[in-house]
Structure 1
Amino acid sequence: MTDAVIAKDSAEHFWGRVRTALGALRPVRQERGPAYGQAAIARQIGMKPKLGARIEEELTRAWEASAEAGVSMSLLVIEIDRYREYFACYGKGATDDCVMTVMQTIADALPHDDDTCLRMGRATFVVALPDMPVLMARTLAQKISKAIRGQGLAHKESHAGTVTVSVGLAVTNPQGAFDRTFFEAGAQALKKAQRKGMGRLEVVDLRPAQEKRRKAA
């Protein structure tokens, strides 16, 4: 699976880059069944297929920077709600525009110029946030969700009437080499948010368990 990336400072000439960004994504197999979004995340949790190289690189970079500084790292895993229904209703062209608008909206909300929004699969986005406390990350996730609703992208197959996203937020204190279970925690949080409905946020804080293991060692 390939990934695409939009940086916070890439807003200029946005629509002129849409085709380029989409062209960088290899086609992936059409999903079946009503639980498309959760099935896609489930495959990621099993690491089959592997994370895209760009996502792996960004997660590792943020992890190592946080570990070196001795600070927390947060991770957002974001997915468009009812993406499959949107695609069936509006078609490929409108869906491509929707996905890129959501991706750019996420990037525009990020606090630092070097923060990036990476696309994973069709409708999932990953944001690594080094040196980002959990309360600030929660506020950012809520800001992103509100901004996407504010785009007013019609979605008549959603009871919200507009495109919304669900968000999984994971926070940890990185130590040593990058641990992929951190991404899995964020993906699991997203799944839990989706089970509760649309436009939801679920947070998992791994730090208490880390501290407990440290004290027991």
Structure 2
Amino acid sequence: MTDAAIAKDNSDHFWTRVRLALGALRPVRQERGPAYGQAAIARQIGVRPKLGARIEEELITAWDRSAEGRVSMSLLVIEIDRYREYFNAYGKGATDDCVMTVMQTIADALPHDDDTCLRLGRATFVVALPDAPVLMAKALAQTIFKAVRSQGLAHKESHAGTVTVSIGLAVVNPDGGYDRKFFEAGAEALKRAQRKGMGRLEITDLRPAQERKRAA
């Protein structure tokens, strides 16, 4: 799992991975403890499918900011469509370049300099959006769809002919401590989008249930 953001205007994918691992790009909080060092850098470059502390930290921070401001928080869980088929067709080197290009594209689409695109697993990305109403998050998702397609990354195993992404969007009015079910809601929305096809957006809005709970 890579837990840092990609900077904009990058063209060298290898050095992107190195700089990304070293945390020399967009400001991110530093990992703490003896595990952070060369081994952590190697893990970051290699990427493993595991939800790590960095993503949880980002979600908790965004949740707390939204709760303090009494505003909605949105979450985008984004995944490259037909990733395995792409890997089988083009090999590891091309796949690594594809993933880094998509991550760069998502990072460039984010509206604020302190917004962070985090990589989860091989082809999934997480974007926490504090103080982001659902309409704003939906508009951002559409921007990401178009930006990824505009890269024109060929994908011969996809009927779209190019690399696309699917997106799960979850929205909540944070109250109290961070609830891990929020991330699960975004991940489930992504699964629904993928079941319906490629390049799709599905939304899980947790606010009505919150209101019913408060009224009970």
Q: TM-score range by the shorter chain?
A: 0.7 to 0.9
How far apart are 1:208 and its partner, in Å?
A: 0.5
Residue aligning to 2:210: 210
Match among 7, 17, 20 for residue 19 of structure 1: 17
Please say if residues 4 and 25 of structure 1, whose CA atoms lie closer than 8 Å, have aligned partners that are also in contact: no
Amino acid across the alignment from 1:151 = Q
Structure 1 portions without partners, runs of 5+: 29-39, 41-48
Letter in structure 2 aligned against 1:174: P
Name stretches of at least 5 consecutive residues in structure 2 with no aligned partner. 22-41
Aligned residue in 1 for 2:127: 127
| Aligned-partner SS, 1:202 | strand
Q: Kindly provide the CA deviation profile for residues 57-113 of structure 1, in whole angstroms up to 9, marking residues without a partner as x.
A: 100110000000000000000000000000000001100000000001000000111
**Shift in Å at residue 27 of structure 1?**
5.4
| Deviation of the 1:153 alpha carbon | 0.2
Specify the SS of the correspondent of 1:160: coil
How far is 1:3 from its partner?
2.4
Cα offset, 1:25, TM superposition:
3.6
Aligned-pair identity (%): 72
Counterpart amino acid of 1:65? R
Aligned to 1:111: 111
User: How does the TM-score come out when normalised to structure 2?
Assistant: 0.85
How far off its partner does 1:17 sit? Answer: 3.1
Q: Give, in whole Å, the separation in 2 of the partners of 1:12 and 1:81.
A: 24
Task: Indicate the residue corresponding to 2:87 in structure 1.
Answer: 87
- Displacement of 1:4 in angstroms is 3.0
- Report the residue type matching 2:57 in the other structure: E
What pairs up with 1:190-201 in 2 under 5 angstroms?
190-201=190-201
What is the correspondence of 1:26-45 to structure 2 with a 5 Å cutoff?
Answer: 26=46, 28=48
Name the residue aligned to 2:3.
4
Q: Residues of 1 paired with 2:47 and 2:182: CA distance?
A: 27
Say whether the 8 Å CA contact 1:81–1:163 is kept in structure 2: yes
Q: Distance in 2 between matches of 1:114 and 1:70?
A: 20
Give the Cα–Cα distance (whole angstroms) in 2 for the partners of residues 79 and 52 of structure 1.
17
- Residue 151 (structure 2) pairs with residue 151 (structure 1): yes
Equivalent in the alignment of 2:168: 168
Report if the CA contact (8 A) 2:47-2:121 is conserved.
no
Report the CA distance shift for 1:197/1:124 in structure 2 as closer, same or farther (over 3 A): same
- Structure 1 residue identity aligned to 2:8: A
- Alpha-carbon RMSD across the aligned residues, in angstroms, is 1.5
- Which residue type is aligned with residue 17 of structure 2? R
Q: Separation in 2 of the partners of 1:209 and 1:178?
A: 16
Shift of 1:204: 0.9
Change in 2 beyond 3 A, CA 1:83/1:134: same
1:129 partner SS: strand
Partner of 2:155, secondary structure, is coil
Equivalent position SS for 2:167? strand
Following superposition, the deviation at residue 212 of structure 1 comes to: 0.5
List, as ranges, runs of 4+ consecutive aligned residues in structure 1 with deviation greater than 4 Å: none
Distance 1:150 1:184, change over 3 A: same
Tell whether 2:54 aligns with 1:54: yes
Give the structure-1-normalised TM-score: 0.85
